[in-house]
Amino acid sequence: PVVAAISGNALGGGLEVALSCHYRIADKTGRFGLPEVHVGVIPGAGGTQRLPRLVTVPKALEMILTGKPIGAKEARKLGLVDHVVETKETLVDVARKYAEWAELMPLADRRVGWMSIKETPEQVKMIAAVASKKLPSPEMGGEGVRAALEAVKACSL
């Protein structure tokens, strides 16, 4: 089993690496996001495919299209992280316990890339249509966010 122990920022590639782990444990300073949109690109290491499978398509689109990060407590509520600890000192201990426990469990259902999204393809189309109306035009720098939207829509295929 692979367990991510996250303290502080897990942004961009850091979050994408954490999404590829079986379990994600964070301390209360954890912040999670995909800010690539701020530089005109899309998440390139699976974030557009894995994030919607954990936090729902609407929340994933919000995070990807705005680049706005969320805190550890919200990440826990959404299912993005499995456990939040209060101090850095306990973070590694809890992550180790998860790894020891996970050795005894089947891990196939913990592979985020294999999970299904919660929404139907029709719901994804509707959500994407609403989101696309709020995006800037390509002339106004909206090319990257439109590409990210298309990548998230691919989750329902």
Residue 107 CA: distances (Å) to CA of 5, 21, 80, 103, 114: 18, 10, 17, 8, 11
Residue 17, pLDDT score: 93
DSSP 94-129: HHHHHHHHHTTS--GGG-GGGSPPSS-HHHHHHHHH
pLDDT value at residue 80: 92
Average pLDDT of 75-95? 88
| Residue 25 banded pLDDT, cuts 50, 70, 90 | very high
Q: Which residue has the tokens 């897990």?
A: 10
Output the pLDDT for position 138: 66
Instruction: List active site positions.
Output: 16, 36
Give the residue from 27, 11, 22, 32 showing the smallest Cα distance to 92.
Answer: 27
Separation of CA 57 from chain center: 10
CB atoms within 10 A of CB 17: 16
User: How far apart are the C-alpha atoms of 41 and 32, rounded to whole Å?
Assistant: 18
Beta carbons within 10 angstroms of residue 145's beta carbon: 24
pLDDT bracket for residue 141 (50, 70, 90): low
Which one is predicted more confidently, 144 or 65? 65
pLDDT tens digits, 60-70: 888 888 889 99
- Mean pLDDT along residues 9-20: 92
Could you tell me if 123 and 61 are in contact, meaning their C-beta atoms sit under 8 angstroms apart?
Answer: no
Q: Quick check: 120 and 111 in contact, CB under 8 A? A: no
The predicted pLDDT at position 157 comes to: 65
